[in-house]
């Protein structure tokens, strides 16, 4: 049994991770400021004797005793991370410094939830970890993209300078149950719109692509990375290589939800990446990991979850 800190533990991925770690027999300290996360996400864990919740903003120092740290705190949806962009950069950068300082003092192994956004609007396709990316440093997405890039820099400097045990993964678009109905990312938007009979909002012409990974596969990748040999620092891409246009996603969601919603076309947000697909050779080789859940299966359980969630909203 280890004492494990999960920052952003009340969010979408964080709550699934807390649940997995409790199931694996660990003691979990969930830290969250509830910016995009909710108490409801971890409601079923509250009262468990190995689970503790602390309301705290990672931009401030945190003194606790732990064996491992999963650093997930950071809003992930463009509408939320652009709401207060200065706070987003602070969360990524000051949050990383504080968690790395904590890892240094406690000698904890530390995991960073980085992102495919470090590749920006990529000119190399699919994206391997060796690609340095094409990122606008001054646009509306930069607070997130550059914040995460700077966090990676800090992780590798603490590794080189202070010999920390770091584990950096680059997460590609992940979806599943317990996403917030107003999260704003594409999978939840399309499902919520389809179930409510509202128009499906396609940004741009819908020909841009993304690769969608089901949450259970992603959490398995997190745990394998954290438990991997000490020499493996990453960055390691985690994602599902299945690549779809947003139009294809919309059609699939409509037919699976049995919805008659119409498609409407809205302006493409600034700097929206045109294509994204992970090269997961490294994860396959070093973690023996690859995603198992095809898009249709993952969408089925996500649609089921939203049917229930919207009924009580
Ligand atoms: P989310 O928005 O559901 O979760 C983020 C959590 O962090 C929320 O609970 C939020 O309240 C918390 N948080 C935000 N700022 C904080 C702060 N200053 N102090 C403490 N808590 C704070 O998003 P998610 O999809 O669960 O993403 C989790 C992590 O994974 C993020 O770091 C995100 O960048 C990364 N990621 C996710 C995806 C994805 O597709 N889901 C893709 C790439 C990277
Ligand atoms: N820190 C923290 N918890 C700890 C240890 C450090 O939050 O248990 C924070 C502290 O605010 C510090 C930061 O982590 O500013 C970086 O710590 P480090 O030891 O690397 O640097 P220093 O303390 O020398 O600034
Ligand atoms: N998108 C869309 N309609 C929506 C939400 C998003 O067409 O209601 C598009 C968005 O422009 C982008 C893709 O879907 O091209 C994925 O967007 P998301 O916000 O989920 O993630 P990210 O852009 O960070 O990959």
> From the CB of 194, is ligand 2 less than 6 Å away?
no
Nearest CA to ligand 1 atom 22: 73
CA angle centred on 99, ends 98 and 101, rounded to 5°: 65
Give, using CA atoms, the residue closest to atom 12 of ligand 3. Answer: 272
Q: Please state the rounded mean pLDDT for residues 256-275.
A: 97
Task: Name, in order, each residue with C-beta under 8 angstroms of 39's C-beta and a sequence gap of 6 or more.
Answer: 10, 46, 53
Q: Which two tokens stand for residue 201?
A: 């909002």
Confidence (pLDDT) at 184:
96
Instruction: Give the Cα separation of 276 and 112 in Å (integer).
Output: 20
Q: Is 160 in the pocket of ligand 2 (CB under 6 A)?
A: no
Catalytic residue among 70, 81, 119, 144: 144
- For the Cβ of 99 lying below 6 angstroms from any atom of ligand 2, the answer is no
What average pLDDT is seen over the chain?
Answer: 97
Nearest of 152, 175, 144 to residue 269 by alpha carbon: 144
In the prediction, which pLDDT does 312 show? 59
Atom of ligand 1 nearest to the CA of 11: 9
Q: How many Å lie between the centroid of ligand 1 and the Cα of residue 10?
A: 9
Distance of CA 309 to the CA centre of its chain: 21
Regarding the beta carbon of 113 and ligand 3, being less than 6 Å apart is answered no
Is residue 313 scored above 80 in pLDDT?
no
Q: Which H/E stretch holds residue 247?
A: helix 246-257
**Cis geometry, peptide bond prior to residue 235 (ω within 30 degrees of 0):** yes
User: Any idea what the Cα angle at residue 247 is, between residues 222 and 149, rounded to 5°?
Assistant: 35
- Residues 33-76: pLDDT tens digits? 999 999 999 999 999 999 999 999 999 999 999 999 999 999 99
Closest ligand, as measured to the CA of 113: 1
Which residue owns the Cα nearest ligand 2 atom 25? Answer: 101
Ligand 1-lining residues (CB < 6 angstroms) = 7-8, 10-14, 32-37, 57-59, 72-76, 91, 95, 113, 115, 171, 173-174
pLDDT tens digits, one per residue of 115-167: 999 999 999 999 999 999 999 999 999 999 999 999 999 999 999 999 999 99
CA 105 to chain centre: 26
CA-based nearest residue to 300, from 263, 261, 257, 243 = 257
Mean pLDDT computed over 156-184:
98
Minimal-distance CA residue to ligand 3 atom 5: 186
The arithmetic mean of pLDDT across residues 210-234, rounded, is: 98
Token pair of 126 as six digits? 């699919």
Are the beta carbons of 234 and 167 closer than 8 angstroms? yes
CA distance 195 to 190: 9
Q: Which atom of ligand 3 is nearest to the CA of 189?
A: 8
Tokens of 36: 């995009």
Say whether 144 is catalytic. Answer: yes
Distance CA 173, CA 164 (A): 28
- For residue 189 and ligand 3, the question of a CB distance below 6 A is answered with yes
Q: How many residues does the chain have?
A: 313
Q: How confident is the model at residue 197 (pLDDT cuts 50, 70, 90)?
A: very high
Q: Is the pLDDT of residue 174 over 60?
A: yes
Torsional class of 271: left (φ above 0), alpha (ψ -120 to 50), beta (otherwise): left
- How high is the pLDDT of residue 308? 95
Helix (H, G, I), strand (E, B), or coil: what is residue 281? helix
Give tens-digit pLDDT for 73-92: 999 999 999 999 999 999 99
- The span from the CA of 84 to the CA of 186, in Å, is 20
Which atom of ligand 2 lies at the shortest distance from residue 158's CA? Answer: 20
Extract the tokens encoding 163. 């010999």
Structure confidence by residue, pLDDT tens digits, 275-311: 999 999 999 999 999 999 999 999 999 999 999 999 8
**203: Cβ–Cβ under 8 A, 6 or more apart, which residues?**
246, 265, 266, 267, 268, 269, 272
């Amino acid at each position: 049994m280890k004492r494990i800190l999960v920052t952003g533990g009340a969010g979408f991925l964080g709550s699934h991770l807390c649940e997995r770690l409790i199931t694996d027999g660990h003691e979990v300290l969930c830290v969250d400021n509830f910016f995009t996360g909710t108490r409801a996400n971890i409601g079923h864990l509250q009262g468990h004797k190995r689970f503790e919740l602390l309301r705290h903003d990672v931009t401030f120092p945190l003194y606790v005793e732990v064996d491992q740290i999963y650093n997930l705190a950071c809003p992930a949806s463009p509408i939320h991370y652009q709401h207060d962009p200065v706070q987003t950069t602070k969360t990524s950068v000051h949050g990383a410094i504080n968690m790395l300082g904590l890892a240094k003092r406690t000698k904890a192994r530390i995991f960073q939830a980085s992102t495919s956004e470090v590749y920006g609007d990529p000119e190399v396709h699919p994206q391997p970890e060796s690609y340095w990316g094409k990122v606008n440093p001054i646009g509306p997405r930069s607070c997130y993209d550059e914040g995460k890039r700077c966090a990676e820099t800090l992780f590798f400097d603490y590794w080189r300078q202070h010999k920390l045990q770091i584990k950096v993964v680059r997460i590609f678009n992940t979806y599943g149950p317990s996403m917030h109905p107003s999260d704003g990312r594409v999978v939840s938007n399309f499902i919520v719109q389809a179930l409510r009979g509202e128009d499906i909002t396609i940004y741009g012409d819908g020909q841009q692509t993304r690769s969608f990974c089901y949450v259970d596969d992603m959490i398995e990748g997190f745990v394998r990375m954290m438990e991997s040999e000490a020499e493996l620092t990453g960055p390691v891409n985690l994602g599902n290589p299945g690549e779809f246009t947003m139009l294809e996603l919309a059609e699939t969601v409509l037919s699976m939800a049995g919805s008659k919603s119409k498609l409407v076309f809205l302006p493409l947000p600034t700097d929206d990446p045109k294509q994204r697909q992970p090269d997961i050779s490294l994860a396959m080789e070093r973690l023996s990991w690859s995603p198992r859940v095809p898009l249709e299966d993952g969408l089925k359980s996500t649609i089921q979850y939203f049917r229930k969630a919207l009924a009580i909203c």
